Amino acid sequence: MAYTLNIEKAARRHLRAAQVLYAQSGAGDQPGCIAVAGYLFGIAGELAVK
């Protein structure tokens, strides 16, 4: 099954996921959430300029 490539939607999905992870700060949260959020912000930025 073929799929269409939608880079704009992918950029928005990565940005939203990064924002959610970055905002998490509570007891029991994983300590790497902010690091992963930074990674996802980078991917979202790369996708946005394509």
| Whole-angstrom distance, CA of residue 8 vs CA of residue 27 | 34
Let me know the angle formed at the C-alpha of 28 by 24 and 29, rounded to the nearest 5 degrees: 30
| Whole-angstrom distance, CA of residue 7 vs CA of residue 50 | 8
Write the pLDDT tens digit of every residue in 10-40: 999 999 999 999 888 676 777 788 889 999 9
Helix (H, G, I), strand (E, B) or coil at 50: coil
Whether residue 50 is predicted with pLDDT greater than 90 in this model: the reply is no
- Domain total in the chain: 1
Residue 32: its pLDDT value, please?
81
| Whole-angstrom distance, CA of residue 26 vs CA of residue 10 | 28
Whether residue 5 is predicted with pLDDT greater than 80 in this model: the reply is yes
In-domain check, residue 11? yes
Alpha helix (H) ranges present in the chain? 7-23, 33-49
**Across 36-48, average pLDDT:** 95
In-domain check, residue 1? no
Q: Range of 43's domain?
A: 7-49
